[in-house]
Structures are given as C-alpha cells and as structure tokens.
Amino acid sequence: MSASDTPKRSMRTPLGRVRSLGAAHSGTSDFWRQRITAVAMTLLMIPVIVVIVMLFGRNQAFAAQTLGSLPIAVIMLLFIVASAWHMKIGMQVVIEDYVHHEKLKLVSIMLNNFFSIAVALASAYAILKLSSGV
C-alpha cells in the first residue's frame, strides 16, 4: 500500500487505514503464523513425546546419542522453531491484552522477543552440537 505517498492528504479514510489491523496494528500475519505453528506442533507432538519418553530415566550418553541422530534432531529442531515462534506470538497477544502503558508494552514485547529467540537458539544449538558430535 502506498497510502503514505502523500502524507498530508490521503484519499484513504482514517477507518480505512486502521481497518483489519487490530490491536497489534500489524494485521493478521501473526494470527496466521500462530495457527501454522500450532498445526506443526500438533503433528510433531507424537514423535516428540515418543523421544522424551524413550529418554526418560536414561543416562546422558543415551540422551546425547538419541537427540543427535539425524531424524530425531530434525524433528526436535522443527519442534523448537515452531514452539518458540508460537510462544512468542502467544505471549505478545497476552501482553497486548493486559499491558496498556505504551512504553511498558513495547519493552515487554521486546523482552518477549529476546526470551523466545534465546530459548530457540540455545535449544537448537544444543541439538546441533549433539548431532555434529563436537
């Protein structure tokens, strides 16, 4: 949309400019990604649970070997990416619903991004380290 080509005057009405953008002012892309990641995690849930149950009570050597094997590493990585993305969006929705102070809201959303990315990268790094056998 190039509605901002003429910043002072626009043919778009104020309502037209904000319609369908919602409380986040960003439209429905997060709504859609939240559903994609939810479906992805639901599909991955059975293999992930099987892996975790398999590792339950076993020692580190077995855990490292299992998590590092190629198919399981890929499943875990997919699950990590989907869950970190999903929880980032979900927490942002919660923040936008309950935190009304604008600056506090922006800081919270920023911290939410940092936390989610840190969780994703730390987990992914661990899986990659195990599968590369370093």
Site string for another protein, 37-56 (x = CB under 8 A): -xx-xx--x---x---xx-x
From 40, 78, 81, 87, residue interacting with another protein (rule: CB under 8 A): 87
How far apart are the C-alpha atoms of 40 and 86, rounded to whole Å? 10
Cα 16 from Cα 22, distance rounded (Å): 12
Q: Closest separation between CB of residue 57 and another protein, Å?
A: 4
109 near another protein, judged by CB under 8 A: no
State the Cα–Cα distance between residues 71 and 89, nearest whole angstrom: 27
CB of 25 to another protein, least distance (A): 21
> Is 74 among the residues that bind another protein (CB under 8 A)?
no
Query: Which of 4, 13, 20, 60 is the binder for another protein (CB under 8 A)?
Result: 60
Angstrom CA distances, 75 to 2, 52, 79, 81, 84, stand at 41, 12, 6, 10, 14
- Three-state DSSP at 57 gives coil
Q: Smaller CB distance to another protein: residue 109 or 119?
A: 119
C-beta of residue 75 within 8 angstroms of C-beta of residue 81: no
Choice between 2 and 59, CB closer to another protein: 59
Under 8 Å CB-to-CB from 93, ≥6 apart: which residues?
Answer: 24, 30, 34
The residue ranges that bind another protein (CB under 8 A) are: 35, 38-39, 41-42, 45, 49, 53-54, 56-64, 67, 76, 83-84, 87, 90-91, 94, 119, 122-123, 125-127, 129-130
